Every structure is written in C-alpha cells, then in structure tokens.
Structure 1
Amino acid sequence: MGTLRPRQARDLGMSRSGLYRAAQSGKYERIARGIYRPADASAADWDWIEAATRRPDATICLASALAHHDLTDAIPNALDIAIPRGSRIPATETAISWHLFAKETFGLGRSAISIPGSELDIGIYSPERCIADAFRLRGDLGYELGRDALREWLRRGGKPAALMAIATRLPRARGPLLQALEVLT
C-alpha cells in the first residue's frame, strides 16, 4: 500500500481518527498535512510524493529536473514544480517551489516517471525543455545554469536540432539559445 489520505481511511475499514491514532502510535508516517504512508514502506522522496499527491499534473522542472538528468552540479534548495498557469498553488509543508507555466506549452517535453518507493507517478520535463526553460528564465535563475547544462548536454551528444525544435515553441528561448550554440559549437 502506498500513500493514504484521511478520506481514504474508510476504504481500509478505519475512521479518520483511527488513522490519526495509527500515525501517533507509529504505524503510519505523516508526510505532510493529510498525507500518510505505512511506517514500514520503502524509502521515498517525500517532496515528490507531496507534489504528486497535491497536484496530479505536477511536473519537475528547471534546476530540479536538470539535476535529475545530471546536467548540473547545482543542488536546488527546493523542488522546482511546474503547474499550468491559472491553477491554484497548493499549500505545502515541504520545500517545493511552484512555477506557473503557460497552458499552451505545459505539455511540451513532459513525460511521467515513477516515484521510487511509491506507487505514484510525477511529471518531468525532458533535458531539452529544461535547458530551453533555463535560458528563457535566465534573469530569475541566473545565466550560468542554462549555459552549464547546455555545455554538458552537448558533451553527451545532444542534438541542437532537437533543442531548437522545443526552443522555437517557447517564448524568449530561441534567440539566447542560438547565441549560446554558436559560441559552444
């Protein structure tokens, strides 16, 4: 069994207060407000679980996705999660930085991966999308993040045509990426 929410406790023949008592006695671990896991469950990333539970369309992006793809040495101080613009940003207890991305391009370069140690899935952006986003949001993220990720991606054999196919569909990404590719290739 994976994560459990108080409203699902009845399906297990337990009341909400029974779930709270089970958590106090150590049978369940409280991940965040309203999210519990069995104490004997395998290890999992609680930030990922909370993001996927709060928003089924949650997508790992920016520095967190670049770190997952081993394209940066930077260690993000919070999990970067993208959700479609216009969505309500949920209240969370863990270190999650919510980003609102345009609905028209939200699915661009997005795939789903399983959360290790859990039955949940979470979205993640492709390396190409993450690099394009790093260039497009370079004023907020810093100029080095995108440049260093691009350099590592090219070193591993990344194809500039695939990167430009995504960058042309995102605002403010094509020009800076072209300039960086001219310098690096």
Structure 2
Amino acid sequence: MPAPSEPQNARLLRLLGAGAMLRASELRAAGINPQTISRAVEAGEIERIGRGIYQKPDADVEEGQIFAEAALRVPKGIVALVSALAFHDLTDQMPRRVWMAIGASDWAPVQSYPPIRLVRFTDAYLRYGIEHHAIAGVQVPIYTVSKTLADAFRNPKLVDRSVAIESLRAALRLRKATPAMIADAAKIGGAWKTMQPYLEALTSNG
C-alpha cells in the first residue's frame, strides 16, 4: 500500500515504472485523480498510448507489446487465431489487427489503437486452453498452441487452410506441443475430423 503522504504524481510515475502500462480505471483505483493524469500527460511525464491506456514515454518497448495493449483495450478478450499463431512463432504472418476472441454477448470496444479484429466464440470454445503471459506488466490471455491450431482448422473462413497446415507443421517441428495434445484439443475444439488426416500425415514415419 502506498504511504498516505505520497503525492499523486509520484505515485503515478511509480506505478508506471519498469515499462508498465495501466488503464485509467486502474490508476483511479490507486487513488490518482483524472486531473493528475491529465497534467502528467501535458507535462510529457506520461503518454496516452491508446484509449484510456498510459505509459511512460521512455518505457522500453517489449516484444509483443501490442498484445498487452490489446488486452487492456478488451478486458474479456483472448488473443486468438492468426495473432496467437504469430505469438507462438508458428507463422510468419503478422496481421495488421490483433485478433481477439470474446463471448457472444461480450462488450466490443470502440476501435482505436491498437487495431483489433474481434471474433465471437460460443462458450463451448471460448474458455478453455487459455494461458497468461506477462508482457509490459500486463497479464495477457493467449490461447495455447494446441487450442489455437484447433481454432485455425475449425475456422477456414478466418484462417486460410494453408496457414493452418504450415502452423501445424511448425508446432510439431519445434515441439511446441505433442501430437496427443494437439489431437485432444482438436477433439474438444470441434476440429478433429478436419485436422486428423493432416496430423496423421505429418506424424507418420513411413
């Protein structure tokens, strides 16, 4: 807990230390009023890097920081599909928008920066296979390798089949997941019938 005598501006700069990014709501919850935030922005002590998201201007930019910014923009979102494939180094494609999965009735933010492409998953596909990665002080929810591959094969209108196959090949070559893990996720994720022949062909030693 911060000392009661700590000035709001000092507390603001401390909380945004070490490359962290925070929402305005998180800063307000820490006892920092909007006027203090506005004055710090005007003075160049912090910068607004997205809608209601703040960071120090000299903060080190971490690899994958755009995913942290997207996670702050969409609190219920999970990095998914091609963006998750890119995060896991399974594809050379880096989409211009961050793909994030949300529920059928979840709130969708007003588009600003970073650009986000939302996909709505039913509950059956939304809440399993999530892992959290610390990026720029933010715990970013991202689908696992196996779950992402299942989603890629299940959604050919969103992920080109050639991209899904190459990502599956990369996951096996780089040992990002075992064939059994991938098969289990495909069965849970409604993609096994589609993925099975490709997985069997790629794991055959014949």
Residue 164 of structure 1 corresponds to 183
Residue 147 of structure 1 corresponds to 165
Partners of 1:153 and 1:176 in 2: CA distance: 17
**Distance verdict in 2 for CA 1:13–1:47, change over 3 Å:** same
* Structure whose alpha-carbon radius of gyration is higher: 2
Residue 145 of structure 2 corresponds to 127
SS at the partner of 2:49? strand
Partners of 1:135 and 1:164 in 2: CA distance: 12
Query: Which structure exhibits the higher relative contact order, with contacts defined as CA atoms closer than 8 Å and separated by 6 or more residues?
Result: 1
Partners of 1:135 and 1:122 in 2: CA distance: 23
2:56 is equivalent to residue 62 of structure 1: no
Q: How big is the shift at 1:73?
A: 1.4
Q: How big is the shift at 1:164?
A: 1.4
CA contact (8 A) 1:111 1:125 kept: yes
TM-score, normalised with respect to structure 2: 0.77
**Distance verdict in 2 for CA 1:164–1:12, change over 3 Å:** closer
Unaligned runs of 5+ in 1: none
Counterpart pick for 2:119 among 96, 99, 103: 99
1:83-130 Cα shifts (integer Å, max 9, x gaps): 222211112311211111122332221111101xx2210111111111
Partners of 2:140 and 2:27 in 1: CA distance: 23
1:26-74 Cα shifts (integer Å, max 9, x gaps): 1111111221112233324553233222333321111111111111111
The percentage of counterpart residues that share the same residue type is: 31
Q: How big is the shift at 1:137?
A: 0.7
Partners of 1:7 and 1:66 in 2: CA distance: 31
SS at the partner of 1:42? coil
**Distance verdict in 2 for CA 1:110–1:13, change over 3 Å:** closer
TM-score, normalised with respect to structure 1: 0.85
How many residue pairs align between the two structures? 182
1:1-185 correspondence runs (5 A): 1-2=15-16, 3-7=21-25, 15-44=33-62, 47-93=66-112, 94-115=114-135, 118-157=136-175, 158-171=177-190, 173-184=191-202, 185=204
Q: How big is the shift at 1:10?
A: 5.4
Unaligned runs of 5+ in 2: 1-14
Structure 1 range deviating more: 8-17 or 121-130: 8-17
